[in-house]
């Protein structure tokens, strides 16, 4: 455990600490996760497609993809196709699984309209420990469906 996790830091402060370890910024994770999603089906993805999927402009994509290539996570040559390396694929899969896990958890406790956004904002920063807790709690809720049923009642009774 990083002792710095116990001290207070700003939001940016924690992000810097995390980045020291993983080399990946939240944005890079976003790009990699999306590349993974798309490549799983198509085998490759183009800069323009990514810019649409991520709602950013093409030059931002070019730059980030080049950085991911520098890190050895994607294969990319100018004007070419974006493909994942083995390592990129491994990490992409982890990222997608994390996304799905958090999304499913938030969905269980009743988040609807902002599900995508909330998942997105949580996933990049959550600790492995918290992810574990969520995973475990998720399984527990799945194995005991009556709890969520009761919770729905409870919600209604409180006028939510």
Partner DNA sequence: TTCATATATTAGCCTTAGGTAATTCTTTTG
Partner DNA sequence: CAAAAGAATTACCTAAGGCTAATATATGAA
Cα–Cα distance, 150 to 4 (Å, whole number): 39
Closest CA to 103 of 121, 91, 115: 115
Cα–Cα distance, 153 to 159 (Å, whole number): 10
Report the DSSP beta bridge partners of residue 75.
Answer: 83
Q: Which 25-84 positions form the footprint of DNA (CB under 7 A)? A: 25-28, 30, 46-49, 51, 55-67, 76, 78-80
Q: Which residue, 86 or 116, has its beta carbon nearer to a second copy?
A: 116
Residues 6+ apart with CB under 8 A from 43: 83
Residues 6+ apart with CB under 8 A from 38: 45, 49, 50, 53
Each residue 87-106 as x (binds a second copy by CB under 8 A) or -, in order, gives -------------------x
Each residue 30-49 as x (binds a second copy by CB under 8 A) or -, in order, gives xx--x---------------
Q: What are the residues binding a second copy (CB under 8 A)? A: 1, 5-15, 26-27, 29-31, 34, 53-56, 106, 109-114, 116-118, 120-122, 124-127, 129-130, 132-134, 136-137, 139-140, 143-144, 147, 150-151, 154-155, 158, 160
Q: What are the residues binding DNA (CB under 7 A)? A: 10-13, 25-28, 30, 46-49, 51, 55-67, 76, 78-80
């Amino acid at each position: 455990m990083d002792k710095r996790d116990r001290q207070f830091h700003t939001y940016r402060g924690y992000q810097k600490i995390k980045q020291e370890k993983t080399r990946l910024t939240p944005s890079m994770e976003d790009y990699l996760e999306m590349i993974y999603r798309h490549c799983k089906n198509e085998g490759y993805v183009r800069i323009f497609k990514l810019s649409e999927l991520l709602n950013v402009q093409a030059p931002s994509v070019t730059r980030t993809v080049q950085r991911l290539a520098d890190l050895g996570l994607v294969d990319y040559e100018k004007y070419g196709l974006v493909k994942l390396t083995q390592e990129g694929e491994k990490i992409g899969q982890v990222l997608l699984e994390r996304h799905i896990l958090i999304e499913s958890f938030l969905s269980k406790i009743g988040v609807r309209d902002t599900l995508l956004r909330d998942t997105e904002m949580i996933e990049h920063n959550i600790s492995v420990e918290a992810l574990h807790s969520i995973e475990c709690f998720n399984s527990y809720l799945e194995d005991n469906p009556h709890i969520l049923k009761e919770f729905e009642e409870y919600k209604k009774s409180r006028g939510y």
